[in-house]
A and B are shown apart, each in its own frame.
Chain A
Amino acid sequence: MSEGAAYAVKMHHVTKTFGKVTANKDVNLELRTGEILALLGENGSGKTTLMNMLSGIYFPDHGEIYVKGEEVTIRSPKDSFALGIGMIHQHFKLVDVLTAAENIVLGLGGKVTVNRREINKKVAELAQKYGFELDPSKKVYNMSVSEKQTVEILKVLYKGADILILDEPTAVLTPQETERLFNVLRNMKKDGKSIIIITHKLNEVLAISDRVAILRKGEYIGVVNTAETNQAQLTEMMVGRPISLEIDRPQAERGEKRLQVIDLTCLNGDGVKALDNVSFEAYGGEILGIAGIAGSGQRELCETIAGLYPSIGGSVLYSGDHDGVPVQERILGLKPDEIVKKGISMAFVPEDRLGMGLVAGMNMTDNVMLRSYKANKGIFVDRKAPRELAEKLIGELEIVTPGVDTPVGRLSGGNVQKVLLGREIACQPSVLIVAYPVRGLDINSSYRIYDLLNEQKKKGVAVIFIGEDLDVLMQLSDRIMVMCGGKVSGIVDPRKVTKEDIGLMMIHAEGSQSVSEDKEVTA
């Protein structure tokens, strides 16, 4: 290995196909030694596949890979490590019951006995060198997401990697944590490490990278110097045409109170409170955004309201009308079918689309009737009406599918979401709960989803939007409820607070009480 090679990694004409799908087509990528290269592209553009060929998870169909000036064959993650390449995946691979330091040295061989003190010291030194904050003896199950990520990064650094690949590292971080991560990355760059960061967030690309390589639909579009580009140009390269990134927030009259949640409390599998005295109200004609680090109780909140998760206290009151007759019900503790039987029209788009909202192996007709197949009398299912609805949805929402008979699991993420959201909207809800509706979707599909939510808002529906991208939440929501560790940190008006304020509330439930109180909307 020549130490002074100008390029840490070169990928030449790399192609990878999965069945009929071409994930990467003739891609060229060059990572200079000691730079931070952002790999930008929409979801499904082949970023992760390309990087997985560097980390030894996939083997390319064509093309060559050069590392530090020499042509290499990477057949397994082991080969990849031997070349000094370390990848930090989106999903962490850590042993919960071990400490940070133990996880870091895991699988490294060495002596039979483990000198914990020495390892802790080494890890602490390494962390300090790059500016990480980490207690080496902390157990992983006690860690926040950002700490776990730190362990993952230290793990590859400890093994001596000098080429680091980070797959969407900021997706799970608060704005403050993101800034901290970026500082660490800059320190690593100073130390001579070469870094590839995969992302689709433009502001982050501009903040951290030296150069940006862009992929679109598996093809390599080009590379630009970060200093010489801007958001508009990057978007155009990424999407293929100019596009406005503004999210509309139409003015709508705030309607009646649809949902009142009072002191809702529930436990997770370990008996720890997943929701702790959560109280809020949702009104017709508004979008209530819910922000928080992943795992702060968002999933439990919507599943409890939808009758899918047990609670140990509190109440949920619904008020709406059913065919003109006012309905007021306590819905906590009711099963989903019991809620429907009470004449309550509440729609729920769960986070796990194919594992909860839809049946992957079934066609669109059968999926559309999932929530209404009991409506007709008799023992037989009626597929006629659902089929018509499915065909209507394909037309209205521009769902790309070979037809209503194709299993929905074969559709792309955006189209899957359109089927799910389309079905839920078709039942004309008065409360619509959506959890991470644009996760994994490309820009076009995402904006279509925002439009659909806004349409529902204008119709007077109470929309509860659980999101992860704070920029989107702040542009789309009328109010934002911030959650932290199962508690409500506060409910704020996104027009009156900054992203950093919300970021603080995401990590401090009690401490931020003062922030939330003076900024709470009084309507």
Chain B
Amino acid sequence: MSAHTHTAQAKEPLLRMVRRDAISSQKSWGIRAAAFLLSLVTGGIVILMLGHNPISVYVSMVKGAWGSKTVIYETVKIAIPLLITAIGISFAFKMKFWNIGGEGQILVGAVAAGAFGLFTAHIFPKLPLVLLMMLAAIVAGGLYGLLPAVCKAKWGTNETLFTLMLNYIALAFIKYLMNGPWKAPGSSYPKIAMLVPGARLTKVLGVHWGWILALILVVASYIYFNKTKQGYEIAVVGESNNTARYAGINVGKVFRRTMFISGALCGLVGMLQFAGSDYTITEGTAGGVGFTAITVAWLAKMNPYGMLVVSVFIAMLERGSNAIQTQFKIPASAADLLIGIILFFMLGCEFFISYRLIGRGKEEHHA
């Protein structure tokens, strides 16, 4: 048959995309590994152009993240908010509710925790104070997440724009607090006072106990998604609102409940950052975590265990990029570029896991 098909094939399109039906996990991990290696090679070229040895730069990146106790603590401290925010966001994403308002929810959580931490530390002993801060952050973040869900359920508003705009509102509110009512007494430039040392989160094995909470949340959210009725409802709503209605699920209620949880987890991150890491609130309290967490959640395909791995990986890249900035005097922008290259390859390779490209004149092979 091949003899007389030449004429047609000569005029075939150069490349065609074909969807794969199934791929073995071995093969998909092979593709990911190849993508990672390619990203290192591409990044290596950039490093070479900057006049450094790629291998020693990469080694210093790894050492910068895992080389000593101090840097390990720092890496874990970056991973904690990423992981919890990613879990929070995945609640919404699982029902195809595009909550990109993690930043704002973190900020309002921090502010709510700050309201107690900064102004009632002299009234309450540490334990009730910390619990109060947690509760306040959860409620504030939850309500901030609930708002777009209520509007979507009632009027069909677009949650992407809605949550995005709420980020800016939260940020502006913090600026207002810094310049006005919460401005630290005696400070010449706008900033919020520091949390008194007695109210700061206790360290366990060198890092505040947020990491234990994060690990508990990984397991708890996995169980919630896969074993509970509410998790099942999220999955049904995410696949099709019509099917959910048909099944007798109150779609609006699931939106509201799930977005409250989603926002509450992000709010909790705000409290952990405030009371466990920064000890104050600034415009940088969320620091892009709400957006990076989206990458974490997608790379992990909404699987909480996957998010644990990915968030630690990204924390490592961030720490590593700090290290190479100081050690090799590589500019911050170039270090960010390296991270960008690695993430680009890791996200991009998912395409090759779902699709195959067939070149001109190539036959399709079947397993």
Q: Name the interface residues of A22-47: CB closer than 8 Å to any CB of B.
A: 26
Which among B1, B8, B227, B243 is the interface contact of A60 at CB below 8 angstroms? B8
A358 contacts B243, CB within 8 Å? yes
B26 at the interface (CB under 8 A from A): no
Q: Name the interface residues of B302-346: CB closer than 8 Å to any CB of A.
A: none
Which residues of A are found within 8 Å of B366, using beta-carbon distances?
A: 17, 20
A13 at the interface (CB under 8 A from B): yes
Which residues of A are found within 8 Å of B229, using beta-carbon distances?
A: 373-374, 379-381
B248 contacts A13, CB within 8 Å? no
B1 contacts A73, CB within 8 Å? no
B350 at the interface (CB under 8 A from A): no
Which of A185-193, A209-217, A286-294, A348-356 participates in binding chain B? Answer: A348-356
Q: Name the interface residues of B200-235: CB closer than 8 Å to any CB of A.
A: 227-232, 235
* Proximity string of chain A (49-83) to chain B, C-beta cutoff 8 Å, 1 when within and 0 when not: 00000000001111111000001010100000000
Q: What's the nearest-Cβ distance from chain A to residue B275, in Å? A: 30
Which of B11-19, B34-42, B111-119 participates in binding chain A? Answer: B11-19
Which among A13, A71, A75, A361 is the interface contact of B1 at CB below 8 angstroms? A13
When C-beta atoms are compared, the residue in chain B nearest to A358 turns out to be B243
A359 contacts B240, CB within 8 Å? yes
When C-beta atoms are compared, the residue in chain A nearest to B8 turns out to be A64
When C-beta atoms are compared, the residue in chain A nearest to B245 turns out to be A308
B242 at the interface (CB under 8 A from A): yes
B227 contacts A357, CB within 8 Å? no
B243 contacts A61, CB within 8 Å? no
A362 at the interface (CB under 8 A from B): yes
Which residues of B are found within 8 Å of A370, using beta-carbon distances?
A: 236, 243, 246-247
Which residues of A are found within 8 Å of B5, using beta-carbon distances?
A: 13, 62-64
B235 contacts A19, CB within 8 Å? no
A340 at the interface (CB under 8 A from B): yes
A448 at the interface (CB under 8 A from B): no
* Proximity string of chain B (344-367) to chain A, C-beta cutoff 8 Å, 1 when within and 0 when not: 000000000000000000011011
B364 contacts A17, CB within 8 Å? yes
A411 at the interface (CB under 8 A from B): no
| Most-contacted residue by chain A among B230, B247, B249, B367 (CB, 10 A) | B247
**CA A379 – CA B19 in complex, angstroms?**
38
A337 at the interface (CB under 8 A from B): yes
Which residues of A are found within 8 Å of B239, using beta-carbon distances?
A: 359-362
Q: Contacts A63-B8, A73-B8; is A350 near B246 (CB within 8 Å)?
A: yes
A257 at the interface (CB under 8 A from B): no
B4 at the interface (CB under 8 A from A): yes
Q: Name the interface residues of A292-329: CB closer than 8 Å to any CB of B.
A: 306, 308
**CA A360 – CA B7 in complex, angstroms?**
41
When C-beta atoms are compared, the residue in chain B nearest to A335 turns out to be B248
| Most-contacted residue by chain B among A361, A381, A410 (CB, 10 A) | A381
**CA A356 – CA B231 in complex, angstroms?**
19
B20 at the interface (CB under 8 A from A): yes
Q: What's the nearest-Cβ distance from chain B to residue A333, in Å? A: 14
**CA A225 – CA B231 in complex, angstroms?**
59
Q: Contacts A19-B21, A340-B248; is A362 near B235 (CB within 8 Å)?
A: yes
Which residues of B are found within 8 Å of A306, using beta-carbon distances?
A: 246
When C-beta atoms are compared, the residue in chain A nearest to B2 turns out to be A62
B19 contacts A355, CB within 8 Å? no
B227 contacts A381, CB within 8 Å? yes
A336 contacts B228, CB within 8 Å? no
A201 at the interface (CB under 8 A from B): no
* Chain B contact residues, majority secondary structure: mixed
A371 at the interface (CB under 8 A from B): yes
Which among A59, A337, A355, A380 is the interface contact of B227 at CB below 8 angstroms? A380
Q: Contacts A61-B364, A379-B230, A381-B229; is A355 near B242 (CB within 8 Å)?
A: yes
* Proximity string of chain B (64-104) to chain A, C-beta cutoff 8 Å, 1 when within and 0 when not: 00000000000000000000000000000000000000000
When C-beta atoms are compared, the residue in chain B nearest to A356 turns out to be B242
A59 contacts B235, CB within 8 Å? no
Tally A residues with Cβ within 8 Å of B: 46
**CA A63 – CA B250 in complex, angstroms?**
52
Q: Contacts A356-B243, A366-B232; is A18 near B19 (CB within 8 Å)?
A: yes
Which residues of B are found within 8 Å of A369, using beta-carbon distances?
A: 232
Which residues of B are found within 8 Å of A59, using beta-carbon distances?
A: 12-13, 16
Which residues of B are found within 8 Å of A357, using beta-carbon distances?
A: 243, 246
When C-beta atoms are compared, the residue in chain B nearest to A339 turns out to be B248
Q: Name the interface residues of B18-69: CB closer than 8 Å to any CB of A.
A: 18-21
* Proximity string of chain A (435-452) to chain B, C-beta cutoff 8 Å, 1 when within and 0 when not: 000000000000000000
Which among A18, A64, A361 is the interface contact of B4 at CB below 8 angstroms? A64
Q: What's the nearest-Cβ distance from chain B to residue A340, in Å? A: 6
**CA A65 – CA B7 in complex, angstroms?**
11
Q: What's the nearest-Cβ distance from chain A to residue B306, in Å? A: 18
* Proximity string of chain A (356-398) to chain B, C-beta cutoff 8 Å, 1 when within and 0 when not: 1111111000100111011000011100000000000000000
Q: What's the nearest-Cβ distance from chain B to residue A431, in Å? A: 16
* Proximity string of chain B (138-161) to chain A, C-beta cutoff 8 Å, 1 when within and 0 when not: 000000000000000000000000
A380 contacts B248, CB within 8 Å? no
**CA A240 – CA B361 in complex, angstroms?**
34
A73 contacts B11, CB within 8 Å? yes
Which among B1, B19, B228, B240 is the interface contact of A380 at CB below 8 angstroms? B228
**CA A361 – CA B239 in complex, angstroms?**
7
Which residues of B are found within 8 Å of A335, using beta-carbon distances?
A: 248, 250
**CA A381 – CA B236 in complex, angstroms?**
13
Q: Contacts A18-B18, A381-B227; is A336 near B246 (CB within 8 Å)?
A: yes
Which residues of B are found within 8 Å of A63, using beta-carbon distances?
A: 5, 8
Q: Contacts A362-B235, A379-B230; is A71 near B19 (CB within 8 Å)?
A: no
| Most-contacted residue by chain A among B230, B239, B243, B367 (CB, 10 A) | B243
When C-beta atoms are compared, the residue in chain B nearest to A369 turns out to be B232
* Proximity string of chain A (470-509) to chain B, C-beta cutoff 8 Å, 1 when within and 0 when not: 0000000000000000000000000000000000000000
Q: Contacts A62-B1, A73-B8, A336-B248; is A19 near B20 (CB within 8 Å)?
A: yes
Which residues of B are found within 8 Å of A352, using beta-carbon distances?
A: 242
**CA A356 – CA B248 in complex, angstroms?**
11
Q: What's the nearest-Cβ distance from chain B to residue A416, in Å? A: 13
When C-beta atoms are compared, the residue in chain A nearest to B367 turns out to be A20
Which among B240, B247, B367 is the interface contact of A336 at CB below 8 angstroms? B247
When C-beta atoms are compared, the residue in chain A nearest to B231 turns out to be A381
**CA A21 – CA B18 in complex, angstroms?**
12
Q: What's the nearest-Cβ distance from chain A to residue B316, in Å? A: 32
When C-beta atoms are compared, the residue in chain A nearest to B237 turns out to be A359
B246 contacts A308, CB within 8 Å? yes
**CA A348 – CA B243 in complex, angstroms?**
12
When C-beta atoms are compared, the residue in chain B nearest to A353 turns out to be B243
Which among A19, A362, A410 is the interface contact of B19 at CB below 8 angstroms? A19
When C-beta atoms are compared, the residue in chain B nearest to A341 turns out to be B248
Which residues of B are found within 8 Å of A19, using beta-carbon distances?
A: 18-21
Q: What would 20 A/B residue contacts be, using CB atoms closer than 8 Å?
A: A13-B5, A19-B19, A20-B21, A21-B21, A61-B364, A62-B8, A71-B7, A71-B8, A336-B247, A340-B248, A361-B239, A362-B236, A362-B239, A366-B232, A369-B232, A370-B243, A374-B248, A379-B230, A381-B229, A410-B21
Given contacts A75-B11, A371-B248, A381-B227, list 7 more A-B pairs with CB under 8 A. A306-B246, A352-B242, A374-B229, A380-B228, A380-B229, A381-B228, A381-B229
- B residues whose Cβ falls under 8 Å from a Cβ of A: 1, 4-5, 7-8, 11-13, 16, 18-21, 227-232, 235-236, 239-240, 242-243, 245-250, 363-364, 366-367
- Pairs A-B, 5 closest by C-beta atoms: A337-B248, A336-B248, A19-B21, A73-B11, A356-B242
